Amino acid sequence: MKSKIFVVEDHKEMRQAYALLINREPDLEIYDMAVTGEEALEKIESDPPDLVVIDLSLPGGMSGLKLIKQLHEDRPNLPLLVVSGHDDVYYAEGVLQAGAHGFVDKKEAPYVMVDAIRRVLQGEQYLSERMRQKLENRKTRPLN
């Protein structure tokens, strides 16, 4: 039985890339997609998937961060994996606090994405090694 992955992504190129990347895995499948946060909420409410991949920068009134907060409030157990073109710790911290279970930089190699999906599905928190180090640096950086 394949895990059902829902993708929220406003760029056509990326939606196609996710389809190619995920659907070739034996244990994963793209279940549905949405372009905006509002569309995602509506679709997920009627038929929830096993995991949601969310692009942080979304068009329209609902930002990726707002969508994460809303989904987390509605379904605290639904795994949320955030994908972003910004690799700032500032962002990573924000989305983890908002209720996401993982943060992947789009810059990471494509197989990292698949790995991250599997880990979050298993209930782990996912951060790339790079991001984990940055977060550590930020917390321990001396002031002078």
Partner 1 sequence: MNKPIRILYVDDSMLDRELVRDVLEREHSGFQIVEAKDKREFMTRLAEGNYDLVLSDLHILGFQGLQVLDTVKAQYPSLPVIIVTGTGTEEMAVEAMKRGAVDYVIKTPHHIRRLPMTIMAALAKQRLEEERRQAFEALQEREQQLRSLAESLEDRVRQRTEALQEKHEEVRRLASALTLAEQAERRRIARLLHDDLQQILYGLRVRLHVLGLDFSVDIAPGLAEHLDYIKESTERAIDVTRTLSAELNPPVLKGEELEAVLQWLVQHMHEAYDLMVHLKVEGNLKVHSEDKRLFLVQLVRELLFNVIKHARVDEAWVEAYSDKGWLIIRVEDQGVGFDPEKVQRRHWKNSLGLFSVRERLQLFGGRMEIDAQPDKGSRITIATPLEREIPE
- Tell me which residues touch partner 1 (CB under 8 A): 11, 13-14, 16-18, 20-21, 24, 57, 85-91, 106-107, 109-111, 134, 137-138, 141, 143-144
Smaller CB separation from partner 1, 16 or 74: 16
In the complex, least distance from residue 26 CB atom to partner 1, rounded to whole angstroms = 13
Q: How far apart are CA 13 and CA 21, in angstroms?
A: 12
Smaller CB separation from partner 1, 33 or 78: 33
In the complex, least distance from residue 20 CB atom to partner 1, rounded to whole angstroms = 5
In the complex, least distance from residue 78 CB atom to partner 1, rounded to whole angstroms = 24
> How is 10-47 classified by DSSP, letter by letter?
S-HHHHHHHHHHHHTSTTEEEEEEESSHHHHHHHHHHS
CB 105 within 8 A of CB 19: no
Q: How far apart are CA 60 and CA 51, in angstroms?
A: 23
Smaller CB separation from partner 1, 123 or 142: 142
3-state helix, strand, coil in the chain (%, to 5): 45, 20, 35
Smaller CB separation from partner 1, 16 or 97: 16
Kind plus residue range of the DSSP H or E element containing 126: strand 126-127
CB atoms within 10 A of CB 130: 13
Smaller CB separation from partner 1, 91 or 126: 91
| Tokens (6 digits) for 35 | 């372009």
